[in-house]
């Protein structure tokens, strides 16, 4: 169906990633338009097309549940799909559900102002469209605003600079080049081994080493796929009852100290070889809550690194020692540590010798200079709030969202912001975010937001908002959950500390998806507790 009048719609959806696409499908009975900055759909899987980009959750889980026929028809060639396959899947869904007519590609939303007189958002795009809309659903993504550190003299550098999240669609030929890769998070660990195979020399600039375990990727076993498909709906229901919306794993029976040394090593060896990304974090009951248990697991991983990397000094630099395992997103790797045994790879420790600026021919650190043809920034994102903060959003009485969130985001249920009526977020601040499998938890949040909109329309209402008091209660809940875990000891994108000067506390809801979902449902079932709905 074509949108009748694009200047006056019921709903604007921002973003055609996996959540935005599903929102468009779920809300299709309304007059709805979706603005997407990219030239194609797929969000994360459209933008992050760097060599090696791959999901770290099994594709049988990380896939839509709303289309039962698609679930049966689609075959994932590998356990953990690569970017190209995920982008193909997003495009297939857009075509299959005839969503394209309502998507405006290459159209970035730049500002939004709530018009109190008519209870409509005035949404403005970079292309100059102005659209009035009753609701805005922000499916802008938690990891979609790339972060490039603002080192001086960037304009002097005569080579090429790429951010992994803005990798050119046609690829980049790096053969014979001296490449500097900055950043060793999930992205850095995936891209480095791929670059090492192409380039003349790869310099990996590491500020903080990452905990990583071997990826379990392999070609899909048809029997495994059949077993999932035979029982898909029950499995999806079970996933929603797990902490991270993932496949049901056997939970640990013991705390680390309850096991003998031999038992501990056997459990850890099994977790290491499990081909499941997060088994190390649940090897014992207390890995994420007890420092000694965490240190035991951390040291086991360090020993693995020492066993793989030939040069002892390089191995030691690659061993994370300053934060608990799992308090930053645990990475998976495909030959990352082995890569340091190649002659054309050098690890540079920029913790002790920080990068201070670009030069005409490369990068300079406090104590050295590196001659480079290409710089690859795998430097992550202004996460969770970044995409929203880059849009000028003005709510009631012209209140600016950037100002409201200057000291950190405030939200009710991660979904609404007081003073910004009829604006509903998917994967907003203080939702389970990357602590849950984001595709299925995103689908759940879209259904939640759609229910709110459906019930507003059913009840003939014009405005829904939340309160400062509700935001305070949610902040308390988020903080209470975070206090029980070791996450608070680490600087990362979870708390915005990866961005210089970014304020605020822990931005992820760490109480587990089931509790999050139950609190959201309870608030709505309880007469829209924490919301203000008006005619
Ligand atoms: O970003 P990151 P990412 N000087 O923030 C370094 C998801 N994801 O894109 O740790 C020097 O983790 C920074 O150093 P430090 C996943 O949820 C999933 O890698 O801040 N270095 C760090 O090493 C993940 O958690 C998949 O000290 C600087 C790196 O850049 C999230 O996306 C794949 C620096 C950034 O790491 C983000 O991952 C990829 C500076 N000034 C991503 N600034 C899979 O599914 C930053 N760094 C597998």
- Residue 167 token pair: 């990798």
Smallest CA separation from ligand 1 atom 12, residue: 185
For residue 397, the Cα-to-chain-centroid distance in whole angstroms is 32
Ligand 1 atom closest to the Cα of residue 208 is: 27
Q: How far apart are CA 413 and CA 516, in angstroms?
A: 8
**Atom 38 of ligand 1: nearest residue by CA position:** 186
Instruction: Kindly calculate the radius of gyration of the chain based on its CA atoms and give it in whole angstroms.
Output: 23
Phi-psi category of residue 408: left, alpha or beta, with phi > 0 → left and psi -120 to 50 → alpha = left
Per-residue pLDDT at 325: 95
pLDDT at 504: 83
Residue with tokens 């640990």: 252
Q: Are the C-beta atoms of 129 and 416 separated by less than 8 Å?
A: no
Which residues share a beta bridge with 12?
33, 136
Separation CA 81–CA 72 (nearest Å) = 17
Percent of all residues in the chain with a pLDDT value above 90, rounded to a whole number: 89
The phi and psi torsions of 32 (rounded to 5 degrees) equal -130, 140
Q: State if residue 435 touches ligand 1 by the CB under 6 angstroms criterion.
A: no
- Report whether residue 183 contacts ligand 1, using a CB cutoff of 6 Å: yes
Q: Which residues on adjacent β-strands are paired with residue 271?
A: none
pLDDT computed for residue 3 by the predictor: 55
- Cβ of 55 below 6 Å from ligand 1: yes
Chain centre distance of CA 178: 30
Ligand 1 contact via 382 beta carbon (within 6 Å): no
Contacts of 135 (CB under 8 A, 6+ apart): 10, 11, 12, 121, 422, 423, 424, 453
Partners of residue 369 on adjacent β-strands: 364
Q: Is 82 near ligand 1, meaning CB less than 6 Å away?
A: no
- Tell me how far the alpha carbon of residue 465 lies from the centroid of ligand 1, in angstroms: 34
Confidence (pTM): 0.95
For the chain, the maximum distance between any two Cα atoms, rounded to a whole number of angstroms, is: 70
CA 311 to each of CA 120, 314, 341: distance values in angstroms, whole numbers, following the listed order: 62, 5, 8
Nearest CA among 115, 108, 64 for reference residue 446: 64
Q: Cα(506) to centroid of ligand 1, in Å?
A: 17
Taking the centre of ligand 1 as the mean of its atom positions, its distance from the CA of residue 60, in whole angstroms, is 25
CA gap 29, 22 in Å, rounded: 13
| 488-507 confidence digits (pLDDT tens) | 888 899 999 999 889 888 89
Instruction: Identify the residue whose C-alpha is closest to ligand 1 atom 7.
Output: 186
Q: Which atom of ligand 1 is nearest to the CA of 498?
A: 20
345 Cβ closer than 6 Å to some ligand 1 atom: no
- If you search the block for the tokens 């709110």, which residue do you land on? 452
Its sign, for the CA torsion 518, 523, 524, 530, is negative
Alpha carbon of 241 to ligand 1 centroid (Å): 29
Report pLDDT digits (tens) over 193-250. 999 999 999 999 999 999 999 988 999 999 999 999 999 999 999 999 999 998 877 8
Q: Where are the beta strands (DSSP E) in 320-469?
A: 331-333, 345-349, 355-358, 362-365, 369-371, 374-377, 392-394, 423-425, 463-466
Structure tokens at 35: 């603005």
Question: Does the beta carbon of 465 lie inside 6 Å of ligand 1?
Answer: no
Integer Cα distance of 48 and 381 in angstroms: 12
355 in contact with ligand 1, CB cutoff 6 A: yes
CB 330 within 8 A of CB 271: no
How is residue 474 written in tokens? 């949610």
CB of 27 closer than 6 A to ligand 1? Answer: no
Provide the 3-class DSSP secondary structure of residue 303. Answer: helix
pLDDT of res. 1: 45
Q: Tell me, using a 6 A CB cutoff, whether residue 187 lines ligand 1.
A: yes
- The number of residues in the chain equals 535
Please state whether 176 falls in left (phi above 0), alpha (psi between -120 and 50) or beta. left
Output the CA 377–ligand 1 centroid distance in Å: 10
Closest CA to 295 of 322, 329, 317: 322
Given the structure tokens 């030069």, which residue do they identify? 359
Q: Is the CB of 182 under 6 A from ligand 1?
A: yes
Sort 235 into a burial class: Cβ within 10 Å, 0-12 / 13-18 / 19+.
Answer: middle
What are the beta bridge partners of residue 219?
78
pLDDT value for 484: 83
Let me know: does 154 contact 38? Beta carbons within 8 Å. no
Residues of the chain short of pLDDT 70, as ranges, are 1-5, 277
């Amino acid at each position: 169906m074509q949108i009748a009048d694009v200047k006056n719609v019921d709903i604007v959806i921002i973003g055609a990633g996996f959540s935005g696409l599903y929102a468009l499908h779920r809300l299709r009975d309304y007059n709805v338009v979706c603005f997407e900055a990219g030239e194609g759909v797929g969000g994360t899987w459209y933008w992050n097309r760097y060599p090696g980009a791959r999901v770290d959750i099994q594709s049988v889980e990380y896939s839509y549940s709303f289309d039962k026929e698609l679930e049966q028809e689609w075959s994932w060639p590998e356990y953990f799909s690569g970017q190209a396959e995920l982008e193909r899947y997003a495009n297939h869904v857009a075509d299959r559900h005839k969503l394209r007519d309502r998507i405006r590609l290459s159209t970035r939303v730049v500002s939004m102002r709530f018009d109190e007189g008519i209870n409509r958002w005035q949404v403005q795009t970079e292309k100059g469209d102005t659209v009035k809309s009753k609701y805005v659903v922000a499916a802008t993504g938690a990891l979609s605003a790339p972060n490039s550190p603002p080192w001086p003299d960037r304009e002097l550098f005569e080579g090429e600079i790429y951010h992994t999240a803005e990798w050119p669609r046609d690829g980049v030929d790096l053969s014979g080049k001296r490449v500097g890769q900055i950043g060793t998070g999930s992205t850095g660990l995936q891209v480095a081994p791929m670059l090492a195979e192409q380039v003349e020399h790869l310099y990996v600039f590491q500020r903080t080493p990452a905990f990583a375990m071997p990826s379990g990727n392999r070609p899909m076993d048809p029997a495994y796929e059949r077993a999932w498909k035979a029982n898909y709906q029950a499995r999806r229901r079970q996933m929603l009852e797990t902490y991270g919306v993932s496949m049901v794993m056997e939970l640990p029976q013991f705390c680390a100290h309850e096991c003998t040394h031999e038992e501990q090593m056997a459990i850890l060896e099994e977790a290491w070889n499990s081909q499941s990304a997060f088994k190390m974090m649940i090897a014992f009951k207390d890995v994420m809550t007890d420092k000694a248990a965490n240190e035991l697991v951390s040291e086991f991983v360090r020993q693995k690194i020492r066993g793989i990397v030939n040069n002892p000094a390089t191995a030691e630099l690659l061993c994370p020692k300053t934060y608990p395992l799992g308090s930053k997103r645990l990475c998976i790797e495909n030959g990352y540590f082995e890569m340091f045994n190649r002659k054309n790879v050098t690890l540079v420790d920029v913790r002790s010798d920080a990068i201070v600026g670009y030069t005409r021919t490369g990068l300079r650190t406090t104590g050295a200079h590196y001659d480079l043809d290409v710089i690859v920034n795998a430097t992550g994102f202004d996460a969770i709030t970044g995409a929203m903060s880059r849009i000028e959003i003005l709510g009631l009485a012209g209140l600016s969202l950037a100002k409201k969130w200057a000291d950190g985001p405030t939200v009710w249920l991660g979904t609404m912001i007081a003073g910004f009526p009829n604006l509903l977020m998917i994967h907003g601040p203080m939702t389970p975010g990357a602590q849950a499998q984001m595709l299925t938890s995103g689908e759940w949040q879209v259904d939640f937001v759609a229910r709110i909109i459906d019930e507003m329309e059913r009840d003939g209402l014009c405005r829904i908002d939340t309160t400062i008091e509700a935001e305070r209660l949610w902040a308390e809940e988020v903080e209470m959950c975070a206090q029980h875990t070791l996450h608070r000891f680490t600087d990362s994108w979870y708390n915005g500390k990866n961005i210089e000067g970014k304020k605020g506390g822990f931005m992820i809801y760490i109480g587990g998806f089931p509790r999050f979902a139950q609190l959201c449902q309870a608030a709505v079932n309880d007469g829209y507790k924490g919301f203000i709905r008006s005619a």
